[in-house]
Amino acid sequence: MKNKKTIRKTDVYLMGILLVVFAALFLFFQLVIFSGTAEYAYIYYDVADPIVTIDFSKQKIIVHYEQEVPSEYLTIYPIVNEQGEDGFVEITLLGDYKIDGIRQEVVITVDYNQSRIKIKEEESPQNICSKQGWSTAAPLICLPNKIRVEFDSTNSDIDFIQ
């Protein structure tokens, strides 16, 4: 005797309820947790302490320390370009993703006027990091290059970063 599996009415209801719950959670995080304007943004490279802090209110970039890179790289990272394209500030770090044994650069664009940041250029599989677009509060994460951007938002009462 064949055992037929069919979708019952209760299964459809359960799937619908789960879909509504996950959609509500997504909207909650997008509209409440990751909303607002950030006062500060922190750029991390592979460690617990930020390598760069961006102060949007003072329109200032603070480099805390230089990135450790192998001696064959002649450039000192991070590179801060105050006169980037379209008037935006650009910060360049050396990522961990390698192509033909060469570590790739990650260019991060800062827009002081709208308190937002995006990963402009990077090399990684499928370039997912640079496809994230602009962010004003949601973290930007680039795992292949071990770089992340986190925000200190003024409108959020919930502190996820300890």
Domain assignment present for residue 67? The answer is: yes
Domain count, the chain: 1
Query: pLDDT over 70 for what percent of the chain?
Result: 87
Question: pTM, whole model, 2 decimals?
Answer: 0.73
CA distance 152 to 38: 5
Per-residue pLDDT tens over the stretch 64-77: 999 988 888 889 99
Tens digits of per-residue pLDDT, 88-106?
999 999 999 999 988 999 9
pLDDT at site 4: 62
Task: With CA atoms as reference, report the closest residue to 146 among 59, 45, 9.
Answer: 45
Q: Is residue 87 part of a domain?
A: yes
- The answer to whether the CB of 152 falls within 8 A of the CB of 39 is yes
Q: Could you list the residue range(s) of the whole structural domain that residue 86 is in?
A: 38-153
**Residues 26-35: what's their mean pLDDT?**
71
* 32 is a domain residue: no
